[in-house]
Each structure stands twice: as structure tokens, then as C-alpha cells.
Structure 1
């Protein structure tokens, strides 16, 4: 919501990459100090001690002194916050930052106010040790206390202001919608709408396969290999941009139309893990087939449809209005009579109830069950429809 595309000059790109290298070096150095902790050595340096060490290092090394102290000190502060988040259990363990993959730095304080609007379409921000850099005005610039400069694998530069946008207001109609996520159909709504996340076209997929084959034949470290890697990164970035655009538009539309949004409670990270190898008891040191290539294709399909991103953005935009429903046997349960059986779902797209004969799209039927909040037990038993006014009965012994 607050990210803008930057257009630095070639000289400014070199200076930006140097600043990214300084921030990455300081982060990795702090991570190395933190990783060397042992009970015998005692505590590792904290943020204040690392800032003093940074000041001493800048006095000794000229290449480090040529960079911005704000950028380097903020990298230490970001690492300190990452360690606190790790100990709090909200984030994973801090990892190493690599060149070409983690290119970016953050600016905080009074320097964030150095933003000037040039005209209707362009603005400029003054970065320390670099100067004024232009960026495209796709929306109004928010009033933020910090911003982050990043560079993706395609070489595109962006500036993102740290501002949390307000949630989308509810329509107040009381409507409830269920969202069923799938691989063939990215999202099916209980209203009957089938939404598909756009990806690479057939021609782009053929070009991606051709480039991957060329990459396998390139010599490591050669210029041709770098060119092929850049072309592959361009295709992957194109697919990611389309997926992100679809997620933003879909989540905004759903949040504006419905008061309550019910989705499946899926653990996407666990679902997309690679299968564990199976040892062959007959042949020590050998392994049995575990269908890892089929699982890899399923993982790519799940990630390409943005299952996790869609629910995350819905929770951001429809705060307090997203409910997660147990997905147990919702695709096999009839949304009309409630009968649950494996034979109800004839195929991926066709649902035909063996009890009442109800026929509908399988994904839409599952979305209706999710909207109703229906969940079936592990024994696939349909809960009996008993009047709430009925007097409770004593259980009889077998």
C-alpha cells in the first residue's frame, strides 16, 4: 500500500548497492557475534555495545566510514529487534543476508521527512550519502517515521514507507461468505464465483524452461550465466507481481462486500514441505519411492495460487471479520442435506450427492459448507439435526 518504484541514475545505483553492502555486512557481523554465544563465554554484545564497536570500526576502516552511519546503525537496531522477536516466539531465527538476494536498508528519524513532490507523477527523496533520488507517484505519499529501500532480483528499486493503512470498512449487510482455496481454482466463493490467480502464460513457461536448460549448461561465474539468471529472475518477478496484484484486488473486493469471511484453517507451510525419505528395509542404504516429484508439483501449485497471501491480506483488511473453519471433509459433505461420503465428489470439479442427488461445482459446494461453518468428525459422521428445545436424553449402556 505504501511502496513506490524508484528510478535512480546509474551512479546512484552504485551508491545504493554500496549502502546495501554496508548494512548487510553489519547485520552479518552482529549475527556472527550472537551465534558465538556459549554458557562458558557469557553474554554476547548488545545493541549499545555493538554501536560503540561500530564507531571504532568506522574510525579504522575508510570503506566503512564512507557509508552512512544511520544506515549501519539501523542495521544493528533491526538485528536487535529480530533477536527479540525470535526469543518472543513470533518470528524465526535471524539468518544470514546474501548479496543479490537481500539488498536493502532502512532510514529512520528526521531524514524521513526529506521528501519533495516534483509534479503530479514524480517525487524525490534525499538519501544520506547519495542525494535526491526520484520515485514514481502512484498514490499519495503517507506521513511515515521510517522507510526502507530495497532492490529485487530484477534490479528494480523500491521505497516503502512504514505506514499501516486503515482496514476496509464492513458493508453492514450481515452477509457471510465462505472461501475455498484450490489448485485448479484459486478461490471459490460460496456465492458461486470462481477466481483464478494469473500466472505465466504458456509462451512464458516455455521460455522459462528453455532458460533453465541454458542455465544448466552455463559455466559457473561466467557473464552468460549472470545474463540467464537475470532473465529467469525477470520471469519469476513477473509472476510474483501478477499474483500480488490479484491477491490485493481480490482481498479488497471481498472485504468490501461481506461482513464475515470464513476460510479454511490450513497450515500452508506444513502442507508445502517436501516428503521425508523412506528407507528400504530390504536394501540398507537405499530408499523407497516417496513420490517427491509429484509432491513438488503440488507444492508449486499451492504457492503459485497465493493461499497464504490471500488469507493474510484478508486479515489485514477485514480486521476481526475473518473466521477460520475446520476444513475436515468439507469437500465431501453435501451443502443441502449434510450427507458426507467419499463418493459424493465424482471429480475435481463435479459434486453429486449420493443421498439427495444434489449436483453443483465441487469447489462452490465446499465454500458453502465453509460459509455455514460445518465440520465433520474424523469418523465422517453427519451430526443429526435435533431440535434445540428437545429435552436431553440419557445415554443407554451397550
Structure 2
């Protein structure tokens, strides 16, 4: 998507929040109908039937009629598409939309093209029931049939056009590169480069901890609590913007420089799961320490380095050129002789092969193995050097 920052006035901000509330209400109502399905009651109403119900509800309730019919109908259409994606197995189950988190609505059709350029830096879009809202021209406005208006928890409004950009072609000779993702080093390349994803500074982390402690002392549903929550959301938004900017620049650079990009096939969702509790056999009903605090810190490090976002954007910008390699023992295998034992990995950053004496950075050594597409068996044995001209031999029982 091509996203732009919007700057509505105070009156326009209230009108946009009202449209977001209508879209959220219609979505949640459709989700409630969909969740009431049972074998005895039969099928729940679909998109066409729900549009008829929406027309009847708009004639009965003035507060719903004051909003845009297109916004409410598009919420029903988005929910219908979400259900189709869930049944197809490509997306998760549709969930409830909460106020302050999932705020936004979509505009389609001819109204999506009502855009006027004011000057070199500013333009305006005509939002139904709201009027002309200014947004910043950070790039050229694409030709799109729809756009979506959203607001994040920090109070920033954005305008996103649904346009698929063309793939990025290779500008160089076209080489193969391996990318090893980590926590200390965000991305290590087989060329020897080590990239780090920027996050919050030390001062910002101290302020975040101070605000979180202050939030715990605030009274619920108070204005002070809302102000503290907004300040925390601004810090998280700043960290997210830096991570997205790093992911976009890194993925563009890799897609432009290399023809084949090989990464580890990691199951990030399962890697960031909570550790299972350990029951104490000596004390029934009690549990042993399971290092959940350390696991929580590792999960935060994985999410802060944008492992999934980097691969996802690489697949978007370089379709067909991203290959996923089996990640088994790539950090314990020597990139020179192929010897694989746990003793090769001396520490997080040092790799020293016990067989040939090769020494290098552990992340770069793993990236070289990923670039070569090497896979090690689960027994951690180094594959024997067999000539490719040798005929296959029959296996004999010992």
C-alpha cells in the first residue's frame, strides 16, 4: 500500500471517529450473527441479506443514518471477505474490533478518486460525510480504486491506497545471498555484512519504563490514565516506525542487489510461544521455575528485530527469488569443511571449528551455510565426502 499521513481538523477528527465507530459496530454485529451458527438453526445471513438488514436499521435509527452508507456496507463486505479467507485457510478467524485499536474504514468506487492537489507538499481527499481532509504528499499519489483511513493508538491518521507496486528488478550481476536472522544482530549476510534494526534509545526506554509504572498508579477511566496511555503509544509507534523503515530499506537493497535470497524457514509463531508449566512432583498443585521471564525477553527481541516482516517484504518485492532453507544446525556447521558439532559454536558471536580450525563470526558463518542451502541430518553427523561418479551400493545389514 501507499500510505500518507493525514492532518484533519478537530471537527473532522470527531467526524472520522464517528465513521470508524459505525464501521466497527456493523463489523461486530455481523460477527455476532456469524458466531450464532448451529446445525439446528441453519445458515446465518450472508452479505446480501445483511445489506437488507442494514437498510432497515438505517431507517429505524437516526444515529446510524447520520453516517455514510458506503462505509457501513464496506464493513459488511470486508467481513464477508474475511470469512471467505478463513474458510480458504489463508487467514485466521475474524475477531472483534475494539475501540481505540481497530479504528478505520474503507472507501471504494468513484468517491475514492476525489483527490485534489493543493501545492507541492499538500493534497486533500473528499471523505463522505466529513469533507475535504488534508494529507501530506510524501510521494506520488497512485491511481487506486479504493483507499482506507485508519488511526493508530497514538492518534495519528493515515490514508492508504490499495495499490500493488511492481517487483524490484536486479540491478547487479545477480548473486546468491544468505540471510541469518538473530536477536543481537538483526540480519547477517553471507557477504559479511551485519545489519541491526534500530529501536528505542536508552533515554526512551527509561521514559517508557517510567510511563508504565505511572500507568499502574493511575485510576481507571481517568483522564490522566488516558494521557499516559497516549504517551506510551507514541513511544511504541516511534519504535514501530523505525522498524518498518529499516525493513523497507533493507528489503529493497537486498532485492536490488541479489538474484536469489535464501533465508531460514522459521516458524516464528511457535518460537514466540509461552513455555509450558512444569508441575512439581514433590508438591502437588505447585510448579517449578520454567524460565518464563527469560523466554519473554527472547520473544520481545524476536519481535523487535522484525524477522517476519523482513521476509514478507522480500517476498513482495522479489517474488519467486526468495528461497527458504531448512534451519537445522546451520549455526553449528562449519562453512569450510562442513563439520557439525555443538562445540563449534563457542559463544553468540564466535565460531571456531574443532576439525579444521576455521574461525569466523557465528552469524556470518550461518549465513554462508544458508546461502549454500546446506541441510544437516537430525543426528548432527557430517555428511561423508562421496564421489558423484560412484555407483550406488546395496545396503548390508550389520
Q: Give RMSD over aligned pairs.
A: 0.9
Question: Any residues of structure 2 matched to 1:11-160 within 5 Å, and which?
Answer: 11-160=11-160
How far 1:278 moved relative to its partner? 2.2
CA distance in structure 1 between the partners assigned to 2:208 and 2:322 by the alignment: 37
How far 1:172 moved relative to its partner? 5.8
CA distance in structure 1 between the partners assigned to 2:116 and 2:302 by the alignment: 42
Partner of 1:365: 365
CA distance in structure 1 between the partners assigned to 2:49 and 2:279 by the alignment: 50
CA distance in structure 1 between the partners assigned to 2:349 and 2:31 by the alignment: 50
Question: Any residues of structure 2 matched to 1:240-389 within 5 Å, and which?
Answer: 240-389=240-389
Q: Secondary structure at the match of 2:331?
A: helix
Q: Secondary structure at the match of 1:331?
A: coil
Partner of 1:3: 3
How far 1:317 moved relative to its partner? 0.4
Matched-pair contact (CA < 8 Å) for 1:171–1:259: no
How far 1:130 moved relative to its partner? 0.5
CA distance in structure 1 between the partners assigned to 2:172 and 2:139 by the alignment: 28
How far 1:85 moved relative to its partner? 0.6
Q: Secondary structure at the match of 1:384?
A: coil
CA distance in structure 1 between the partners assigned to 2:173 and 2:152 by the alignment: 42
CA distance in structure 2 between the partners assigned to 1:261 and 1:119 by the alignment: 41
How far 1:83 moved relative to its partner? 0.6
CA distance in structure 2 between the partners assigned to 1:129 and 1:183 by the alignment: 47
Q: Secondary structure at the match of 1:259?
A: strand
Displacement over 4 Å in runs of 4+:
none
Matched-pair contact (CA < 8 Å) for 1:6–1:134: yes
CA distance in structure 1 between the partners assigned to 2:366 and 2:388 by the alignment: 26
Q: Which runs of 5+ in 2 are unaligned?
A: none
Matched-pair contact (CA < 8 Å) for 2:172–2:257: no
How far 1:259 moved relative to its partner? 0.3
CA distance in structure 2 between the partners assigned to 1:394 and 1:51 by the alignment: 69
Give the TM-score normalised by structure 2.
0.99
Partner of 1:171: 171
How far 1:389 moved relative to its partner? 1.4
Moved more, 112-121 or 385-394: 385-394
CA distance in structure 2 between the partners assigned to 1:86 and 1:251 by the alignment: 29
Q: Secondary structure at the match of 2:169?
A: coil
Aligned length: 398
Partner of 1:231: 231
Partner of 1:192: 192
Matched-pair contact (CA < 8 Å) for 1:71–1:107: yes
